[in-house]
Amino acid sequence: MRFKGKTAVVTGGTSGIGKETALRLVKEGAEVLFTGRDESRAEQALQELEKLGGRAYFQQQDVTKTEDWLRVAEQVDKTFGRLDVLVNSAGVFTYGAIEDTTYEEFKNVWRSNVDSVLLGMKHLLPLLEQASGVASVVNVSSLSGVMGHPDCVCYCTSKAGSLMLTRVMALEAAPKVRVNAVAPGPVWNELLERAHAGQDKEEMQEYYRESQPMKFLGDSSDVANGILYLASDAARYVTGTIFRIDAGRGAD
């Protein structure tokens, strides 16, 4: 129970890495407010969280909207009175060659993957600073923010942006708040499954597995494990770190 008595906000908490992180935080004793856009998926996530006997709350949120962050801050203040952990997991993925990419799409991906993190820090920092100990923010970036891929200019650029945002926020928020990022490679979860809807599932898993140096295709729990380490007091001297969870893909 590494998070007993702790309070947490997880964005993108209705599916994928965010949902797994919210579940794990609840399992380890935290009270969690998770946010997302899809209310029907939220209902299912809420049931799973409550089944764990934990205390979980849901708020619908578009992470690119200031007014939605203000409502989350208000809710956190009312429910918890402070915040110990913020996990910025919401984000979008698109791909395509630059000639097929509209400026509008580029800006939208940036808003979802970078503005969202900035707004979260901006509006929840006062509550994080009221944490009883040192609060912790974990941003879910991507290996694509560390290394480039062809036909992936929007996503790669935005994820690199979120990494530098992490470093600068680590400096600004210290010493009351730690800020770190995980940079995961591909993991098999409902997001990847949805992205490959209509294709052969086992064939796609094989494709992703074989594309890693270590022929292992993880799932959301592998990233959640790293997030929980960084979010917990076990990492009390860790800030501004970019931690790859990528089966070795970023090492060569």
- Give catalytic residues, as residue numbers: 155
Q: Is 244 in the site for another protein (CB under 8 A)?
A: yes
> Which among 166, 190, 227, 160 is positioned nearest to 41, based on CA atoms?
190
Least Å distance, CB 15 to another protein, is 19
- Contacting another protein within 95-134 (CB under 8 A): 134
Q: Is 238 in the site for another protein (CB under 8 A)?
A: yes
Q: Is 212 in the site for another protein (CB under 8 A)?
A: yes
| Joined tokens for residue 207 | 């494709």
Q: Is 52 left (phi over 0), alpha (psi -120 to 50) or beta?
A: alpha
Least Å distance, CB 62 to another protein, is 30
Instruction: Give CA angle at 70 (81, 56), nearest 5°.
Output: 50
Distance CA 150, CA 140 (A): 21
Distance CA 21, CA 35 (A): 12
Q: Is 94 in the site for another protein (CB under 8 A)?
A: no
Q: How far is CA 81 from CA 12, 128, 142, 152, in A?
A: 22, 10, 31, 41
Cβ proximity to another protein, 103 vs 237, nearer residue: 237
User: What angle do the packed helices 220-231 and 16-27 form, to 10 degrees?
Assistant: 50
Distance CA 118, CA 86 (A): 12
Least Å distance, CB 66 to another protein, is 27
Residue selected from 77, 167, 205, 207 as contacting another protein according to rule CB under 8 A: 167
Q: Is 27 in the site for another protein (CB under 8 A)?
A: no
Residue selected from 187, 191, 192, 231 as contacting another protein according to rule CB under 8 A: 187
Reduced to 3 states (helix: H, G, I; strand: E, B; else coil), residue 70 is: helix
- Window of 81-89, 110-118, 121-129, 208-216 that interacts with another protein by CB under 8 A: 208-216
Least Å distance, CB 225 to another protein, is 4
> How many Cβ atoms are within 10 Å of 84's Cβ, its own excluded?
26
Residue selected from 50, 171, 190, 206 as contacting another protein according to rule CB under 8 A: 171
User: Are the beta carbons of 16 and 189 closer than 8 angstroms?
Assistant: yes
Residue selected from 2, 37, 41, 55 as contacting another protein according to rule CB under 8 A: 2
Residue selected from 89, 128, 222, 231 as contacting another protein according to rule CB under 8 A: 222
Size of the site for another protein (CB under 8 A): 40
Q: Which residues bind another protein (CB under 8 A)?
A: 1-2, 134, 167, 170-171, 174-175, 178, 185, 187, 212-216, 218, 222-223, 225-226, 229, 234-248, 250-252
